[in-house]
Structure formats: C-alpha cells, structure tokens
Structure 1
C-alpha cells in the first residue's frame, strides 16, 4: 500500500493500463506536454511516447470524434476533457455517436473501449465555467456508463475498470479533492465493480446517499448527527449509470428514510431519478419524504460559491428534519 492523493491514483491507473495494453492511448488538451492542467497525466508521454500520450487541438467535439474513430478501430482511447463544463461542445459526439454506435449497427461495430475523463464540480473558486456537475445530462442517454470516485483507492480501481469495460464510460473526477483526498492505495493492479454502490457505514435511522466529493459532506453530517443520537447509513453510489437500485432500496427499507445530495442544480438533477425509483420500491417503508440537498437552480456563482454548495451543515439540517418529520 502506498499513500496517494486522488490525482496520483488516477495517474497510477493510467500508467498500469498503458503498460498492460499497448492499445491504450491518452490524449486531450495539454495532456502530453505537461500532464494536463491538473497534472493527471504527468510523465506518461515520457514513458509511452508521443504516439500514445499527446496533446490535441482545443476542440472538444474533435477530441471525442477522434476518440470514437479510434475506439471503432480497436484502440482503447482515454480522452480527457479539461473541465466537465467544456464537455458540452462534444455533447453530440457523445450522446449521438458514442452511446449509439453499437446499437445502430446491431453490434457489428462499437466504441466500447472509449473512456472519457473529466474533472467536475465546485469548491475551487472556478466560477460559472469551471464548476459545473453535468452528470445528469448523460445519465439520460442509454448506452453510456457514468462513474464518479470519492477517494484515491476508489479512483484507481474504478478507472481501471472503466478503461477495461466493454462500454463507453464517462469518468467524472471531483477536482475539489484532487489533492485534498489522500489515502492508502494498493500498488498492484486491481478493479472495483461498475454499477455497484458501496455501503460505507451502516446505520438504522436514515440513509445518506451521495457520490464523489459530496461523500465528505455526508460523512461530516453523519458525525454531527451521531451526537444527536441519530444513526446514519452512508452509501456511495459510485456509478450513476447504471445505478445500484437494489443496494439503495435495501438500505431505505431498513432505515425508512433517504437523503440524497449532489452539487448539480435541483431541477433535473439525478437525485430526482433516484427519489422516484426508491419511492416506487419502498413506499410502504418510508417514514418521511425523500430529501434532496443540492446546488441551486442558478448558474454557478463565484462570489456566492459557499451559499451555492450543498455543504455538511445543509445536509445535517435536512437529515434532522427528515428524522423528526
């Protein structure tokens, strides 16, 4: 086991994948020259050459179009979109090409080897164009898998699984904790399952569900709640699509309550999909309405970022209201 931050774990996963399979290719804006804006791909060009780790023009639609073509011919592209906010110029390539390639050909050809890495979320004073959480847009698209890690151990295992998965995967990386999240990570190659949530802590009074950087918020809120005699069960969803209905439903049937938190705005956020599904599965077990603690229905603000972000205090207030409903 080696101590790594989340960025180092991602770099380590890419290194392992590229060493194991010479078809794995990393590219994006500034990816090759100095390891990208966050240095996630540092030293990979030195190790594997310019043919397998290189810079692209600043054209997101072109990056993903190129990645689709590579994947269709048997390569294993890992394309980086420098910020998740800038994935939208490539939206057509992702939802109309990547997601539908296999379906429209009757599985004669596919782009299943494609992985798209992109840092998402706020907390870095990035303002409205460097802070968004667009996971729900892509969850609406059949044919894509969407993965969000919460810490270095999860990031390495989930990224290796994503690169090797026979389906196109969008891998959202919580940039606020790129360097802040540090933990012990196995040096060897390992994978964590996609589509499977993890019960991080068991409890009896309420289920707290989150993913990515929001896991830190629910953990802090749960510690506060314990001092009030409230037992919280914590679940990291890990994969947004396909999401693990069974694990979440089993937890809610036990606790009778559910709170979901994400940084994306409330309206159309993925918490709404989870809430609708869980009330269908657990209606007779619910002791209070399903709660959502999310970002606001506004463009992401710079000056009022703290007011916008769903922090541990907001989560604590909502979970206590749910318990005392």
Structure 2
C-alpha cells in the first residue's frame, strides 16, 4: 500500500471516529426537542422481523409497528431477502397497529432448499410458511417512560402454518407438526441519553428452524422457553446499528439421522436507516448456524436485506 493511500485511509478513519463520537449527543438533542404530539421518533417502532412483528430482523420487540400513537392507526408492508451459502429466502407481509397498544401482522415465508433438497431427492423444494401474529402492549411506554427504570412490556401470539411440500411425509415420520401456535413476552427499554434500545424476549415454542422444518418431534413434543436479545444504538435520528441473538430449540436432535437435523442459534449484526417515516432499509449480516447439517454441514451465513414502507 503506497504512502498516499495510507494517509487517506488513516484520515478517513479518524474522521469517522470523530463523527461516531458526536452522533449519540446529536441524536439525544434531537430526540429531546421532538414533540411527542407529532408521533413517534424515527425508528422507535422498529422494523419488520422475518415473522412480521415489529422489532429487529430476527426477534420481536415490545414496541408496536408504524408511527401510530394514541388514538391513531397505521399500517406497514415489508419485503425481505436473505441468501446463504446453500439456501435462499424471500419473505414479505403486512402489519396494522392502533392506539400504540396493539398490532396485527401477516407474513409469508418462502425458503429455497437448493442443493439440500436435491440431495434429499426433492429438487426444487420450497418450504413455505404463513405467520399470523398479534401483539398487545401490556404496560409501560418506551419513549414517554424513558427516564423510568421500567421497560415497555408486550405479549405476543404467533399462529403458524407450514407447507412442506414433498418433505411433509418425512416431517410426519419424525412427529413434527405442520401447524402450531407460539407465544412471546417482550421487554423493551429505550435510553434516550446514550441513544440505546435494549430488548429481551422469551418465546414459548417448539418450532424447528423457526417452523420451516415443522414443530416439535416424537422425541421432544413439548414447547420450551427460548431467550432472544437485541441491542440497537441510535447513531442519528434516522440511523441505527445493532445486534441480535435468538436461541433456537433443538427438537429434531437427535433423530433417525443422529445430529443431522441439529439446530444452531441465530444471530446478526445490522444497520437500519429510515430517511423518512414512510420508508426504512435494514441491512444485516446474518448467521443462522447449521441447517440440516447431514447434507449442508457448514454454518449458513449471508447478507440480509429488508425494505419497509409505512404510508
């Protein structure tokens, strides 16, 4: 690397460090001057998760989607694309929220099994799942109670239906259901000073790979509580970075394939940008761990893109 290029890169790094240091203070100042009567601050409704509920990309938050406040209603739509080494994923859906109290959402997921489906004798196999979800804010207000020690709390229910196509007989033989309901309890805390949002979710579930491989099994039929964690740092009013972790149940492991259907936890790091209240873009690097390691033993990692519009 020549000397001029080194100087350029070092100067850019120093400028970025100065800029990032100043951003939280700017976000705090802007947030303090925002009039709550004009609605929520940018990004305080989260983005659309893969299951349709408002939150991060992988896990729901206690916040309700859209910018509807008390006495108002709003709706949003999203589309998501994820590509890993061996699999492809498309998702999309709609959400409706009202009174800053409740939220209804519907999401459609399409998982392309790629070479794994071919190896299983099912070329062109797509696993498709519908998720109908509802969320109710039980207590707290993340923005108005930002100076309180108590978080905002929300209870959620997700009704899932899987179309496993040619894989359905295999899932039935393993004792995995293709329809199920799961429940979530989320706690979200917004710290306006440092511009931090913290979220913890408990999910009562038996979903295999988020339901794409059915629910439960003969060996492990019961639901279990799984933790999910999110942190987001508001760099500016319209820009946030963060990370998520989602514990996945391992109901198909062991099976007739030994550990060949073992599930790993999901995680990501993300950047969310909302230039206006009508649109947001989320870019993430997602790590879904192994998915059917009997055929695809490598961890599945890739770029996650999601666009949300809120008319």
**With structure 2 as the length reference, what TM-score do the two structures score?**
0.25
- Greater gyration radius: 2
More helix by share: 1
